[in-house]
Structure 1
């Protein structure tokens, strides 16, 4: 759910000047440090990790700040399955830690007394190579457009960490679709325009469309305080009382990206949103603190858009999936866009893979479904894009137009759900998405009546492919 998909932010823990590793038995000593760090992470003993630090390290960070970092960024990844050495870099000992949720890189240096002088955690970036042979494709390579698409698609799908890719284009009233790779490793089945993918945070634009529909129907106002639609016990939190409904859709609510109680005793680190219920969300909101004044600062928030989905459910008395079906997908005949897949639909769902092309779990969302819980196809997303350009459904057309109106004019410019780019005279509406094993991208130019949809069953970003294609149209 990206714009960055639901990933751990790289955090460096107060770097201090590097010192040379002890020459004798250096590898053995660093391996021992890793064993201890893994043990203390498992036991949640930050005090013991802190005790491994040198005086200079301890002077640069307090134990309380270190504990806060681990609580918010490390423990949520689940258990450590294994670790392995990465080649040293600039006197740093580097190890890959494989957690249940994802892999991260642990880097540290030691002084002559084998105490930590530096400790950092960052996203693990695997070595990407090129596949030896061309992966299969449905691209006929007949037109100039076909060949341009092929060049851009190959720059992505030929990488070792990608599996399948489905591309859709809307241009001059016609649609073009292309499939590359496979829906599952080694199954030999090309993705096509009816293959179902996770679309992650593109779901936020559907949530915005539902909001706009209810605004047009007079059921809610963008300027309403959100406390009007929350239980009294939650609305009593003074931090929430200045947040307006519009702030939830344009990421200016001040609510943090993810609620601090997202990971709990019932959580599955590999499927982190599945057990996050409305009760947990409301429990968090009762005492949460905002990171900024509502309406003033853009800060991408799955908490905010997820809460907007909950508010729409409370207004309607229906589930989020029912709302999407009744208001958007049924009227537009988008027959393959759902939160939950039937056994028949599941046959068309692509397996999902992380940055190392290892199969991972698809994500299931509960309370925060409005932030990224939908699955769809290129064919359905092209229908969606076409209706954003000019909808034949009069009720929905008004709502689509409302989602395109600027509600935050600083950088980045945002409508309702949609991010907006105005490089010259043209205006582009776009969003991307990411889960633990999928990436998605959609971009629309209403003036030129063009759109591009890119769906992948790999965690490798698809933005460059989508942007590259729209520039060719």
Structure 2
């Protein structure tokens, strides 16, 4: 899915205007049309969207729970919500603070007396992503479900609060710390303090086989396990429904503080938002305090496209709705992608720039140099099929003819076409 850091750029590309969404009493027809296109054009099996306005709560669902199946999605269908779990962890901090169990200024070393934390990390630093901790969880801590190896990430000496830096490590430490402070497990404490009071019957750390939607990459089912170890429960692992997330959103919009949420503000309005990738599921949630508009978006596929922009359009209608006219991106294996790794030049020009294709994070990276070695462009390539790729940030397509023995490719830009010849 698209990195959520692109959200601000998306907002900045839109015109500032007063929002008419607050006057709606249903999800607009053009939004429904965009949702249908996201499914009918084979980008995913289905989508559920929820809209909250001062007039009420509205849902629209389109598609099926499993590609090729007949069971339709609804606001009661369950999805892995990935990093939206962090919002529930932050909410639990606020609840436990109101009950006097902890405060935002409680230090981690007060809870974990054996931790050598020279940075004097407070719970608020973890909840606000200002604890100067890594983004990704340490592999050993996840593989061994080890709290000790998670807490080892605190062994740094930094003045806090640091600059904002999104961290799954910080939220996971917040989760285990709140559980220890309340002498409980995070699962039990979250159920007691957040899920049960808000009556979120479809939310929990175990999927409900009666309502769970299958996971997909585009429209290909994912068979691998989606289990999250308990040590990471503060950062991810929850399952939920559009109906439950809307209830959670309503509760959040009543509060004066929004811990854990990402924040956007321009001269016209502010918005709070968060996204999540549930390894084959996609989730997004956002709201505007000024006009009482909120939105929830769920899909049973993780795809690199503009699905998120449907929700953003309801937050700021100045943003165009996506059409999904292009072919959906595919996730190829590293083995399939490795066939194309190498250096290329354009056949039509002996003095042309050099193009290097490398492999990083299971994706091809396009890196173009001038003959003098100066970088012209470096960007990911997205797979349309097993031999066709497009650049992430410009309308350039690369189509390979043969994956064996130094393949040639056609590089297309508008009506122009060039032959890429492998030279290494």
Give 1 or 2: higher strand fraction: 2
Q: State whether residues 117 and 155 of structure 2, in contact with CA within 8 Å, keep that contact through their aligned partners in structure 1.
A: no
Task: State the 4+ residue runs in structure 1 displaced beyond 6 angstroms.
Answer: none
CA displacement at 1:177 relative to structure 2: 0.8
Structure 2 residue 43 is the aligned partner of structure 1 residue 179: no
Aligned to 1:351: 214
1:208-227 equivalent positions in 2, closer than 5 A: 208-227=90-109
1:138-217 matches, within 5 Å, as 145-217=27-99
| Aligned residue runs from structure 1 range 179-328, under 5 A | 179-232=61-114, 235-238=115-118, 241-262=119-140, 273=142, 275-277=143-145, 280-286=146-152, 289-290=155-156, 293-328=159-194
CA shift, 1:246, in A, is 0.9
C-alpha deviation, 1:453, in angstroms: 0.3
**Aligned residues of 1:256 and 1:291 also touching (Cα < 8 A):** no
CA distance in 1, matches of 2:190, 2:153: 31
Distance in 1, Cα, partners of 2:196 & 2:154: 37
- 2:253 paired residue among 385, 389, 400: 389
Pick the aligned partner of 1:364 from 227, 235, 243. 227
TM-score w.r.t. the length of structure 2 is 0.64
Partner Cα separation in structure 2 for residue 276 and residue 250 of structure 1: 27
Partner-residue secondary structure (3-state), 2:205: coil
Q: Which secondary structure does the structure 1 equivalent of 2:231 belong to?
A: coil
State whether residues 3 and 431 of structure 1, in contact with CA within 8 Å, keep that contact through their aligned partners in structure 2: no
Greater alpha carbon shift after TM alignment, 296-305 vs 201-210: 296-305
In the alignment, what sits opposite 1:93? none
- Mapped partners of 1:3, 1:228: distance in 2: 35
Name the structure where helix makes up a greater proportion of residues: 1
Match of 1:465 among 263, 288, 310: 310
Please provide the CA RMSD for this pair.
2.7
Partner of residue 269, structure 1:
none
Any gaps of 5 or more consecutive residues in structure 1? 6-142, 264-272, 391-399, 405-415
Distance 1:199 1:321, change over 3 A: same
What is the alpha-carbon distance in structure 2 between the residues aligned to residue 379 and residue 389 of structure 1? Answer: 16
Are residues 458 and 444 of structure 1, via their aligned partners in 2, closer, same or farther at CA, if it must alter by over 3 Å?
Answer: same
CA 157–287 in structure 1, closer or farther in 2 if over 3 Å, else same: closer
Give 1:148 deviation, angstroms.
1.9
Cα deviation code 1:247-301 (max 9, x no counterpart): 11111111111233347xxxxxxxxx5x441xx2313533765496432222211
Aligned to 1:77: none
